[in-house]
Structure 1
């Protein structure tokens, strides 16, 4: 045990003292959640009011391991400074409980409390918590005062927990009597990477990447299933936002893909490859009358392709590879039309044949019903004819040729 502790300390100190760059440990992303404005369009959300003398415990599953971690927090959509009274990270147990002796108090510049400026973000100091691939962690935040509206991630497909008062270091779940299926403020977990080699995979997209339709707390989103195939050999992080589009912003579904790509993909430490799956909302939202989706113009295949070229250019200028993913079948979905089907077919043909991506993964053919290729295979349909089921997300992950990553 003593020898392990010395090895761990040496790895972490390598982040502070400066050996040659080729030998210096760094950081690698192991989990992400793309932030956006809080919204209660689809039901009550803690983020619209924020928190006041409350503790929020959030459960997440990382993809790769390491000898220590740090946490990123965001106040990107806050209009006032965010006062964080204290925070912890721990290995998760059942529900809101954590494993005994795993709780680590986070510090920020050596202090347990911190302030995040409006529009800014904050990274913690290193926390000496060794983690394994596919391990579930909790990040617990305590706010002694009123936060105002909270930057977060609405469609987490995971349970978060809230308690009155300060329970950041609690091991038991007893105090956490309220639940939500959103994340708040936490945007990334990063691990010490002792041999930096730029091998992080970012899955970038909309609700299908985000995992809508998968079992809550099941970690069955397609990026999760892909991470299970890789078993820590490469990290896979999720940069999906439900309702997101390539070409148009939304007050409830985040900035357009071409705008947020730099923050949510290119800024991730050690990123090498991005899987780009987005565009079905651009096609369908012209028939989606919800106010926060406006503007919702009819989008052509040529316009979507121009957006993809913008994203490919951004990635290549940063030395990041792009895997183009075909758009899944959506016949029978609430916003499906014959016009939209024609646009999807034209876009998918371009993705397959243009040669502008570094590689292609054909999610369309992997999930389509052979008897009706414009529709999801029934076994892969979560029920709305748009979002895959757990089995559908697994089929998507299995369609990825690991050698292209």
Structure 2
């Protein structure tokens, strides 16, 4: 009985109403988004998240996948322990590096004020500004904080360069002040446009997030899918590297069944979601624990299928189509490979997802289906290279979206 009650509570949490900042205005469509994470010590490379910012301007560039006549940004202080005091912000079309194209810079306000306090655990959306954008346009968002922020809510694996400068440079068109660089996003959780078609979310781990993609080249699989759809549907990348479906991590994101509501279902005008998650649950269970992977929990195919069913019920309760992505080859052996095979067989034949994206077969080596094709392998035998990410995007049937 306790297990049934707990499961019911989780589904209720997954399907709860969107936060006001994300639900306001039916005309808004998510054009870019990122899953946010708890600030933590450096995972793979140095970030600014654990120390946060003091009297800094942070300039971040993202590529939108929808057209619109106006834009707004969304900010998250989900993992802040104190309120975030934002002193100023701006948005414009990106130039080279940290530069902004002349004539496109727009100061941002929040409830008509230039500054904003976001409570610990909270989020906020800016007022709209008129700035016509097309699918594929690169936008630069600059945030200025005068005081000390403490540890910063962020997205670790941006595969994009962010810039930092001392002082307020929100209105600078040039790049000269932005001498420091990083490869994470900070506080920025979404960019919305007025207009555009309903969005597709890509939900998963590092394979969705784009590990081994090219820095600043936007050649992850969701990027390739967005180009293939050519603006007919925006595509949002809501992967978090290292993420697991069933277990939290101190530095690799909350478990997928927990973050699904906030990161996917609360996006403005979300229509469908492609789920590719579970390989880390299998792989990390066979490895010694680290501070980032504790707890290490062995999972069965039934455990993962139970997690997928929670996502399916939550998506359907919101009227969102959910597509199951088969797990890619990962050089597994023994029981771990048996779990992956059983999960993929269920995804293909179980009939519970609305459709299937057979990513495994798209990248598998015909000579050895339990391995990634050499032409698609980034070198670690787990993550595709950009050619492999393109093959994954080609495996998605647009009619399923």
TM-score bracket for the superposition, by shorter chain length: over 0.9
Select 2:346's aligned residue among 350, 369, 386: 350
Contact kept in structure 2, 1:25 and 1:192, CA below 8 Å: no
Instruction: Find the counterpart in structure 2 of residue 26 from structure 1.
Output: 27
**Which residue is 1:160 aligned to?**
162
Query: 1:369 and 1:357 mapped to 2: Cα distance?
Result: 26
Which residues of 2 match residues 254-269 of structure 1 at below 5 A? 254-269=253-268
Counterpart in 2 of 1:364? Answer: 360
Distance (whole Å) between structure 1 residues aligned to residue 362 and residue 43 of structure 2: 32
Task: Tell me the equivalent position of 2:134.
Answer: 132
Q: How big is the alpha-carbon RMSD for the aligned residues of Structure 1 and Structure 2? A: 1.1
- For structure 1, list consecutive stretches of 5 or more residues without a partner in the other structure: 1-23
Q: Distance in 1 between matches of 2:330 and 2:43?
A: 23
Q: Which residue of 2 aligns with 1:384?
A: 380
Give the TM-score normalised by structure 1: 0.91
CA distance in 1: counterparts of 2:369 and 2:89, whole angstroms: 49
Give the secondary-structure state (helix, strand or coil) at the position aligned to 2:158.
Answer: coil
* Alpha-carbon distance in structure 2 between the residues aligned to 1:321 and 1:41: 33
SS at match of 2:292: helix
Q: Distance in 2 between matches of 1:25 and 1:130?
A: 18
2:116 aligned to which of 103, 114, 136: 114
The one-character-per-residue Cα deviations of 1:258-312 (angstroms, maximum 9, x if unpaired) are 1111101110111110001000000011133222211111110000000000100
> What residue number does 1:18 align with?
none
Equivalent runs, 1:3-402 vs 2, <5 Å: 26-39=27-40, 40-193=42-195, 199-288=198-287, 289-331=289-331, 336-402=332-398
Deviates more, 1:301-310 or 1:286-295: 286-295
**Kept in 2: contact 1:208–1:387 (CA 8 A):** yes
C-alpha separation between the residues in 1 aligned to 2:227 and 2:290? 36
For 1:74 and 1:129, the matched residues in 2 are separated by: 22
Indicate the SS of the match to 2:148.
coil
Which whole-Å CA distance do the structure 2 matches of 1:61 and 1:362 have between them?
Answer: 26
* 8 Å CA contact 2:209, 2:239 repeated in 1: yes
CA contact 1:155–1:182 (8 Å) conserved in 2: yes
The 1-side partners of 2:209 and 2:334 are apart by 26
What do residues 41-65 of structure 1 show as CA deviations (whole Å, max 9, x unaligned)? 3232101000001110001101111
By how many angstroms is 1:151 displaced?
0.1
Range 299-308 or range 42-51, more displaced: 42-51
Instruction: Confirm or deny: 8 A CA contact 1:223 1:236 kept in the other structure.
Output: yes
* TM-score w.r.t. length of structure 2: 0.92
CA distance in 2 between counterparts of 1:25 and 1:312 reads: 24
In structure 2, the gaps of 5 or more residues are: 1-24
Structure 2 match to 1:4: none
Q: Which runs of 4+ in 1 moved over 4 A?
A: none
Looking at structure 2, the residues matched to 189 and 337 of structure 1 have their Cα atoms a distance apart, in angstroms, of: 42
Q: What is the distance in 1 between the residues matched to 2:295 and 2:145?
A: 36
CA distance in 2, matches of 1:281, 1:163: 36
SS across alignment from 1:258:
helix
- 1:127 CA displacement: 1.1
How much has 1:25 moved relative to structure 2? 6.0
